[in-house]
Chain A
């Protein structure tokens, strides 16, 4: 049923499918789009083998609504797309946020704006992932850097979405989606899977959006289980009822869907560091750019420059503290990104002026050359 434990040569787009199935994903809806199509293709073959449902929808507006519907049918559900489709999905994303529906969305980033650079990588959607849908909300976004990450983070994404009853975005890019490299699949019993919490009280005592003290979210029943849910896209109170112009109840709901993510940043944030112990120059990087950056940091060490790397795995919620810590240690922070400089704004904010922050933007659909990152490190070291 699942891919055997062991080491497999897998494409990123394949690894994310196998990870998702192990995480319990039993519904996939999508629409073909380069460079995410392989995910839908493999899902169409694999999903019915594990007793799940694959649906090719008429567009991305439908795809995201379908996975929300499947989630309320009690299934773990996912869609995968790229920039143009992700733009369409911002509509449904807001619905999932306000109704606190666990879903996983994979955005295999390609170059934009518009139809843009169809087959080339980009990290241009990182701010869209945070702020793309209208209104205020918390969101979780993870940035894989390898096929292994595609496998591991798929599982992590489903777990987080169930734990926080919130959409989780996997911000891959064309390079990571198409890279073919060894992926280690651990034995099933070693993989942590978070299952959906179901209400333990009878329907008449269940308040759909009033978490118990100390909790951020409520258990979630499926449709047809007798809880008479109101899955309301209009601003609602703790009962799921429309609240019209009751600004006090609206404020409570909005603040909860914002803070349930932002206040749990320490639990959600994942990152890796290398050669940071004595570093004077830090490269803060994510996604496929982190691979180039690591090479550049190692080259810099050979030249006697004390450089290190912080790879952000969780982009949102943004983990200010790790940047603050690094900024108090190093002289300068270099932020290479395949965009005109987006996450660098967050780094600059979190660094609070304690280190010089240098943006290293790259657009047009090509990875940074390690030498470009190295020259930035050299410049920062002067």
Chain B
């Protein structure tokens, strides 16, 4: 346990369960940056928003992220965070329900819940931490692993194309979508603030460096700094991407705010209307 006095970081002191730290992430892991993005967003949104926020996560490295926050948190089952969160939001619409999932957690085992949460447009903020493989189990192929990449279960290179989360959720009915990387720290924080205030299903995908597995197996960059540099060099803002032809964008990470719709009514608002109808009002 790290003594309280050594937690000079104001965010940690203010928001985190310092008594259970240090955290379990590998040295150089980007999940710490994602924690900081979340806490910075709340630092700007204010304490009142923080006080009405609860967290839900699934299983995988990313599932540990909210457990260090001094808030109600459910560390649910692999893939099932959104099912728990959906009922939580439906029962207590006044709460900010933030769900943190990994790419395998959300798009692999939890894919069905993901598309249905988006279809319902329930007012949940989903943070999807993408590292392009399953890391807690030691670096196996995920639905986000680039085709051709070598992992512990694709020793000859993956023959499966990867999901594009933004396109998937756009089609499913989400109403706020953004993608950034841990390199795009401030942009991610700004999008997250918007997502938390958004009425409807909001998802932010944050690509983060997993130097231990993705760095070594997929990118040949075991140094986390090299991975951040790679994020910087390989990402293209949507505004720039629009002016480029598809060939130029091959293998690039499109970043930016993908969608912000206000024309779909949020699920719990509809629930309230339904209750009125059922009671004959």
Task: Say whether A and B bind each other.
Answer: yes
| Partner-B contacts on A (CB < 8 A) | 26-27, 29, 45, 48-49, 51, 53, 55, 57-59, 61-63, 65-70, 72-75, 77, 91-92, 95, 99, 222-224, 227-234, 241-242
Smallest CB gap from B96: residue in A:
A224
Q: Which residues of A contact B67 (CB under 8 A)?
A: 230, 232, 242
Q: Can you list 22 contacts pairing A with B, beta carbon distance less than 8 Å?
A: A26-B91, A48-B278, A48-B279, A49-B278, A53-B90, A61-B79, A62-B83, A65-B87, A69-B85, A69-B86, A70-B90, A72-B88, A73-B87, A91-B80, A92-B80, A222-B92, A224-B54, A224-B95, A229-B74, A231-B76, A233-B59, A234-B75
**Residues A74 and B91 in contact in the complex (CB < 8 Å), given A227-B72, A230-B73:** yes
Size category of the binding interface on chain B: 35 or more
User: Lowest 5 CB-CB distances: which A-B pairs, in order?
Assistant: A48-B278, A73-B91, A69-B87, A65-B83, A69-B84
* Chain A residue with the shortest CB-CB distance to B278: A48
Contacts of A67 in B (CB 8 A): 87
Once A91-B77, A233-B59 are accepted as A-B contacts, the answer to whether A75 and B116 lie under 8 Å apart by CB is no
A344, B165: Cα distance in complex, Å: 52
- Name the distance in Å between B76's Cβ and chain A's nearest Cβ: 6
Asked if B275 is an interface residue, CB under 8 A from chain A, the answer is: yes
Q: In the complex, which residues of chain B have a beta carbon less than 8 angstroms from the beta carbon of A51?
A: 275
Supposing A224-B92, A230-B67 touch, asked if A68 and B75 sit within 8 A by C-beta, the answer is: no
Asked if B92 contacts A65 (CB within 8 A), the reply is no
Identify whether the interface residues of A are mostly helix, strand, loop, or mixed. mixed
A65 in contact with B112 (CB, 8 Å): no
Tell me, in angstroms, the Cα distance from A58 to B86 when the chains sit together: 11
Q: Determine whether the beta carbon of B91 is less than 8 Å from that of A70.
A: yes
Set of chain B residues within 8 Å of A69, measured between Cβ atoms: 56, 74, 83-88, 91
Q: Are B20 and A241 in contact (CB under 8 A)?
A: yes
| Min C-beta distance of A247 to chain B, whole Å | 19
A66 and B83 within 8 A (CB): yes
Query: A70 CA to B274 CA in the complex, in Å?
Result: 18
Contacts of B87 in A (CB 8 A): 27, 29, 53, 55, 65-70, 73, 77
- In the complex with contacts A53-B271, A233-B59, A62-B116 CB distance below 8 A: yes
Assuming A65-B77, A228-B70, A242-B67, is B90 touching A55 (CB within 8 A)? yes
By a CB distance below 8 angstroms, the chain A residues around B85 are: 69
Chain A residues with CB under 8 A of B278: 45, 48-49
Contact B77 A223 (CB under 8 A): no
* B216 part of interface (Cβ distance < 8 Å): no
CB-CB under 8 A for A92 and B88, given A61-B83, A69-B83, A224-B95: no
The count of A-to-B residue pairs whose CB atoms sit within 8 angstroms is 127
Decide yes or no whether B113 CB sits under 8 A from chain A.
yes
Report the nearest A residue to B275, measured CB to CB.
A48
Could you give, for residues 28-61 of chain B, a 1 whenever the CB lies within 8 Å of some chain A CB and a 0 otherwise? 0000000000000000000000001010100100
Contacts of A63 in B (CB 8 A): 83
Residues of B within 8 A of A227 (CB): 72
Interface pair A92/B74, CB less than 8 Å apart: no
Bound together, the chains give a CA A97 to CA B72 distance in angstroms of 19
Contact in complex: B73, A58 (CB < 8 Å): no
Interface contact A65-B59, CB-CB below 8 Å: no
Of B80, B90, B94, which contacts A62 at CB under 8 A?
Answer: B80
Nearest CB in chain B: distance from A261 CB, A: 22
Least Cβ–Cβ distance between A58 and chain B, in angstroms:
4
Q: In the complex, which residue of chain A has the Cβ closest to the Cβ of B74?
A: A231
Q: Is B193 an interface residue (CB 8 A)?
A: no
Query: Which B residues touch A66, using CB under 8 A?
Result: 83-84, 86-87
CB <8 Å contact, B54 and A223: yes
Closest A residue to B276 by CB, please name it. A48
Contacts of A62 in B (CB 8 A): 80, 82-83, 86, 112-113, 116
User: Considering the chains assembled together, what is the distance between the CA atoms of A233 and B73 in angstroms?
Assistant: 11
- The interface residues of chain B lying within 8 Å CB-to-CB of A55 are 86-87, 90
Beta-carbon nearest neighbor of A226 in chain B: B51
Residues from chain B with a CB closer than 8 A to the CB of A49 are 278-279
Given A48-B278, A228-B70, A232-B67, decide whether A92 and B92 contact each other with a Cβ distance below 8 A. no
B91/A231 in contact, CB under 8 A = no
- Residues of chain A with a CB closer than 8 A to B80's CB: 61-62, 65, 91-92, 95
Verify if B184 is at the interface (C-beta below 8 Å from A): no
Q: Closest chain A residue to B92 by CB distance?
A: A73
CB distance from B110 to the nearest CB of A (A): 9
Residue pair A228, B77 in contact (C-beta under 8 Å): no
A95 touches B54 (CB 8 A): no
A25 to chain B, nearest CB (A): 12
Query: What is the distance, in angstroms, from A45's C-beta to the closest C-beta of chain B?
Result: 8
How far is A73 from B75 in the complex, measured between Cα atoms in Å? 15
Cα A95 to Cα B279 with chains together (Å): 34
B71 is an interface residue with CB less than 8 A from chain A: yes
A223 contacts B90, CB within 8 Å?
no
Q: Given A65-B77, A95-B77, list of 18 further CB < 8 A pairs? A: A48-B275, A57-B116, A62-B82, A63-B83, A65-B83, A69-B87, A69-B88, A72-B84, A73-B91, A91-B77, A92-B77, A92-B80, A224-B72, A230-B67, A230-B75, A231-B73, A233-B76, A233-B77
List chain A residues, Cβ under 8 A from B112. Answer: 58-59, 61-62
Bound CA span A27–B43, Å: 34
Distance in angstroms from B17 CB to nearest chain A CB is 8
Please encode chain B, from 133 to 144, with 1 for each CB lying within 8 Å of some chain A CB and 0 for all others: 000000000000
B residues near A27, Cβ cutoff 8 Å: 87, 90-91
